[in-house]
Amino acid sequence: MRYFFEISYNGSHYHGWQNQKNAIGVQQVVEGAISKLLREEISITGSGRTDTGVHCVQQFFHADTTKVIKADELIQRLNSFLPKDIAIRSIVPVKPEAHARYDAYERSYQYKITRVKDPLLVGYAYYYFRDLDVITMERAAAILLGEHDFECFSKVKTDVNHFICNVKQAAWNQSGDLLVFHITANRFLRGMVRAIVGTLLDVGSGKITFKQFQEIIKSKDRKMAGMNAPPEGLYLTQVKYPESIYL
pLDDT in tens, 158-192: 778 899 999 999 999 999 999 999 999 999 999 99
- Whole-number Å distance between alpha carbons of 93 and 75: 14
Pick the CATH number of 2-102 from 3.30.70.20, 3.30.70.80, 3.40.50.410, 3.30.70.580: 3.30.70.580
**Residues designated catalytic:** 51
Sketch the domain layout of the chain as residue ranges.
Answer: 2-102, 106-238
Q: In the chain, where does DSSP find H-type helix?
A: 26-38, 71-81, 134-142, 192-204, 210-219
Axis-axis angle for helices 192-204, 134-142 (nearest 10): 140
- What per-residue confidence (pLDDT) applies to 76? 98
Q: Which of 47, 46, 14 is nearest to 29 (CA)?
A: 14
Element (H, E) at 110: strand 106-114
3-state SS assignment for residue 143: coil
Low-confidence ranges of the chain (pLDDT < 70): none
Report CA torsion sign: 57, 62, 63, 66.
Answer: positive
Residues 6+ apart with CB under 8 A from 34: 42, 44, 63, 78
* pLDDT score for 210: 97
Closest Cα to residue 242, out of 117, 73, 97, 52? 97
**Do the domains at 2-102 and 106-238 have one common CATH topology?**
yes
pLDDT of residue 169: 98
Options 3.40.50.300, 3.30.70.660, 3.30.390.50, 3.20.20.70; CATH of 106-238: 3.30.70.660
